[in-house]
Structure 1
């Protein structure tokens, strides 16, 4: 993977965690997260999004629940306390961009 592609992947992952931190109950479905990523400059396919969510879940940063209805699937994603620590820059995980001090949201807003 090129350095730029790696940078984009790391930024996309922190964007996902931070977006979840701003959602009611710290959860959203993958379609809402797909729109959030697009609005943040990460226009990727749903397959890339789902791969990132699977990777984040394997690390215990999010929990994913797959729901099926009428032949269509939806993944509901919930931010874990560990994921919140990473989103706020309290913890670091290789493969996820660490937020810069000026980029950190107000913890009370999350």
Structure 2
């Protein structure tokens, strides 16, 4: 796996873990963009939406348009939660580190 692929897989894991840690397992693309920047992955809104579309194509999140602005509501699916916590894997998403897969996730701590 090259550097660009590793960065992409990391971005996707950050998104899934953020949704797993969010009440209601949902957020929007703007908030997720800010969270990515906090984790050292400052990317464009277009890049966030590209990754969200990929995650939706993998059935790891569902997307709902919020009006005509192009903003999106993002909801974690059960499959996405499984990947975020390391129960299952997806070749395009970084696997959580051992012992950190459920860290900070209410009801999922070991």
Report if TM-score (shorter chain) is over 0.5: yes
- Give SS of 2:71's match: strand
Q: May I ask how many residue pairs the two structures share in their alignment?
A: 107
- Give SS of 2:37's match: helix
1:18 maps to 2:17: yes
Partner of 1:81: 78
Map of 1:35-50 to 2, 5 A cutoff? 35-50=34-49
1:42-100 CA-partner distances (Å, limit 9, x unpaired)? 001011100000000011000000111xx523100000010000000000111111111
Partner of 1:54: 53
1:12-55 CA-partner distances (Å, limit 9, x unpaired)? 10000000011110000100101011101100101110000000
* Distance apart, 1:109 and its partner CA: 5.6
- Give SS of 2:48's match: helix
- Structure ranking higher in strand proportion: 1
- Give SS of 1:37's match: helix
TM-score, normalization by structure 1: 0.90
TM-score, normalization by structure 2: 0.90
Structure 2 alignment gaps of length 5 or more: none
Partner of 1:4: 3
